[in-house]
Amino acid sequence: MAIIAELKRRSPSKGELDLTLDAAVRGAAYERGGASALSILTEPSEFDGRIEDIGAARAATTIPLLRKDFIVDEIQLLEARVAGASAVLLIARALPAERFLALADSARALGLELLLEVRDERELERALGVPDAVIGVNNRNLETLQIDDAVSARLLQLVPSARVAVYESGVRDVDGVRRAAVLGADAVLVGSALSVSGSPGMAVRALTGVPRSPRG
């Protein structure tokens, strides 16, 4: 199981996590701990994120960087590319279908990879229409902020085995990684549990080594 380790200072559901978080220092620690990629929150008002965190992490790490934000405009894709991001998040629920596909095309034209986030079968069908994109299944309801991994239990098995599938939200420890593996995920995105850790490298290391399970 691949670990996508998130850099997050604050969250709407948990409040302040670590307002002193330094993107370069934390990112390097995550990489040393065995993270396969970094997810960097750049949304400022709810997450205390900043686009400059991508550049700081890029200078300190060698692994792929995901810009995680509410992407709604091409200018955000350009910002991500210039800052040094490898990929961007597009949330199916946050975008009309045509806009979702247009932004996916624009991101690819800029050389950015895609993590397409879904929460139901209709959104998954739309995301699977984007060739080779990584599919993320978010267990958190963005309206209520509640977590229910029945969403992943239902949707992950519908993701073709040739696609990379990511289990998002709700992983706090290695048992959560094992649960995601059993449901058919290839990777987990871990945010708050790592962001509050005083030993981020060790916290990531504790999540690694879980074998993947066949899907589909």
Closest alpha carbon to 85 in 116, 64, 99, 114: 64
Q: Is 121 a catalytic residue?
A: no
Among 68, 123, 139, 192, the one annotated catalytic: 68
Q: How far apart are the C-alpha atoms of 181 and 92, rounded to whole Å?
A: 23
User: What DSSP letter does each residue of 45-78 carry, written as one string?
Assistant: HHH---THHHHHHHHH--S-EEEES---SHHHHH
Among 39, 117, 152, 195, the one annotated catalytic: 117
Among 11, 39, 86, 138, the one annotated catalytic: 138
Q: Is 14 a catalytic residue?
A: no
Among 6, 31, 79, 123, the one annotated catalytic: 6
Task: Give the three-state DSSP class for 175.
Answer: helix
Q: Is 6 a catalytic residue?
A: yes
Q: Is 141 a catalytic residue?
A: no
Among 31, 152, 168, 197, the one annotated catalytic: 168
Cα 83-118-212 angle, rounded to 5 deg: 85
Q: Is 169 a catalytic residue?
A: yes
Q: Please name the amino acid found at residue 113.
A: E
Q: Which residues pair with 15 in a beta bridge?
A: 11
Q: Is 117 a catalytic residue?
A: yes
Among 169, 192, 195, 197, the one annotated catalytic: 169
Q: Please name the amino acid found at residue 29.
A: A
Q: Is 68 a catalytic residue?
A: yes
3-state secondary structure 96-144: CHHHHHHHHHHHHHCCCEEEEEECCHHHHHHHHCCCCCEEEEECECCCC
Q: How far apart are the C-alpha atoms of 108 and 118, rounded to whole Å?
A: 19
Q: How far apart are the C-alpha atoms of 26 and 209, rounded to whole Å?
A: 21
What residues act catalytically?
6, 8, 68, 117, 138, 168-169
